[in-house]
Amino acid sequence: MRFRDLTASIAVVALAAAAGAAGKAARKDLTAVPPVATKYVPKRTPWGDPDFRATWSGDNLARAGVEFERPKEQGERLWLTDEEYAKRLEAARKSDADKDDVNAHLMPDNTIGLATWMQSTPFGRRTSMIVSPADGRLPPLTPRGEALFKAGRDSWNKGQPIDWVSDLDALDRCITRGFPAAMLPTDRDNDSGIRVFQAPGYVVFQLEVLGTRIVPIGKSGAWPDAVRGWLGQSRGHWEGNTLVIETANIHPGDSADGNAAKRGASPSSSNPTLPTGNKASAVERLTMTGPRTMLYQVTYSDPDVFTAPWTVQVEWQRDDKYQIYEFACHEGNVQVRTMITASRAQRAKDAVAIAAK
C-alpha cells in the first residue's frame, strides 16, 4: 500500500525547512553526492542496538519519477535544475489533487502527499537512484556479461520459446525480485514496503514482495562457495549507528535488478533483465537520518557481468500505517502454465505452416 500521511503538520514544516536548506547547498554543484548525514541518534533497543524496528517504504521515489538509471541527457547531474524540479513538483501536486487517481481508493481523504514529500527531502530533486558511476547509469557489461545478457530467458523476451519453467527467470516463477532489487523501490511505484524486526544478534527484513532476509549480526562463518541463496548469505555489523551488511553466495543466473532496470533502456521498457554472475556480492549501509527517514545505500559488485561496481542510494520513509499483506504470487497463478502452453501451441502452428509451404 502507498505512503500516506508523512507526519504531523508541524513536523513537516520543520523537516521541509531543513531539507530545503540541504537541497540548496547540494545544488551549488549539480553533480555532487552529499555525505551521509550521521548526526541523528536513533533510539536503542533493550539490548543496546540502534532501533530500526518499523515499516519503511521507498515508494515515493518511483512515484516522483526518480528513475533507477539516469536519463542520458542529464549527464553527470545528480540533481535537477530548479526548472526541472518545478515541473516535477507541479506534476506531483496535480497527482495529489486528482480525485480520479488510481490510488485514491486507498486514501479516502485523498491525502497522498507526494508533493509534501518532495518538499521535505533533497531526494525529491534526484535524477537517479544510481549515484556511482558518475553518469548515474549501470557500467558497461563484460564480454561474459554481454553473452549472458543476450542469452537471457524470461517473459520480457517476447521472441524466445518457453518450453519449461527453466525458460523463465525467478521473478516470473514467483521466487524473488532478485538481489539487491528486493531492497529497492519497484518500477511499479508500489509494493516496496519493508518491515524491520530486531532481536539480540539479528536483524530481519520482511519484504512486501517475495522474501524475508534474516541477517545475523557480528557472527562469522561464510557458506561454502557451492551453497547459494536467492538473496545470498548476509552478515551484518554496526559501525556506530549505521548497519553494514555484506552479502555473497548469491544464486547466479537470474536478474540482479528484478526488472527494475533494463540494459540500455528506461525502467518501463520490456527488455530482458540483467544476469547475475558467480562472484556477485554487495555491501549495504543503512543509516537513520531522522526519526522517520532511513538512507539505504548498496554497492553491488559482479566482475563476471559488470566492468565496475555500481552504487544505489535511496531514502526510505517510515510509515506506521503502511499495510503489508500476503503477496500470494503462487496461489492461482496460471501465467507460467499459460506461457508454456501458448508458446508450445504457437511453435506447433508455425511448424505446420512451414511444412505446408
DSSP three-state, residue 133? coil
Cα 357 to Cα 354: distance, rounded to the nearest angstrom: 5
Q: CA 330, 185, 302, 141: dihedral to nearest 10 degrees?
A: 100
- At residue 4, the pLDDT reads 35
Stretch 294-309: mean pLDDT, rounded? 96
Q: Give percent of the chain with pLDDT exceeding 90.
A: 50
At 109-145, the pLDDT tens digits run: 334 588 988 998 999 999 999 999 999 999 999 998 8
Stretch 311-318: mean pLDDT, rounded? 94
- At residue 59, the pLDDT reads 84
26: confidence class by pLDDT, cuts 50, 70, 90: very low
Q: Between 198 and 155, whose confidence is greater?
A: 198
- At residue 290, the pLDDT reads 95
- At residue 157, the pLDDT reads 64
- Please say if the pLDDT value at position 98 is more than 90: no
Stretch 333-344: mean pLDDT, rounded? 88
* Torsion over CA: 95, 99, 101, 105 (sign): positive
- At residue 112, the pLDDT reads 53
185: confidence class by pLDDT, cuts 50, 70, 90: confident
- Please say if the pLDDT value at position 10 is more than 50: no
Apex CA 131: angle with CA 125 and CA 132, to 5°? 160
Cα 245 to Cα 286: distance, rounded to the nearest angstrom: 8
- At residue 217, the pLDDT reads 96
Cα 102 to Cα 95: distance, rounded to the nearest angstrom: 10
334: confidence class by pLDDT, cuts 50, 70, 90: confident
Residue 202 DSSP symbol = E
The pLDDT mean for the chain works out to 81
H and E: helices and strands count for the chain: 6, 10
- 3-7, 97-101, 150-154, 330-334: least confidently modelled range: 3-7
- 208-212, 214-218, 223-227, 284-288: least confidently modelled range: 208-212
Q: Cell 527531502 sits at which residue? A: 121
Q: Which amino acid is at 169?
A: D
DSSP 142-163: PHHHHHHHHT--STT-TTS---
At 136-172, the pLDDT tens digits run: 999 999 998 888 777 766 666 666 788 888 888 787 8
Assigned C-alpha cell, 271: 527488455
Stretch 318-343: mean pLDDT, rounded? 85
CB 80 within 8 Å of CB 86: no
Give 18's contacts (C-beta < 8 A, 6+ positions apart).
Answer: none
Q: Give percent of the chain with pLDDT exceeding 70.
A: 80
At 224-268, the pLDDT tens digits run: 999 999 899 999 999 999 999 999 999 887 554 443 334 343 333
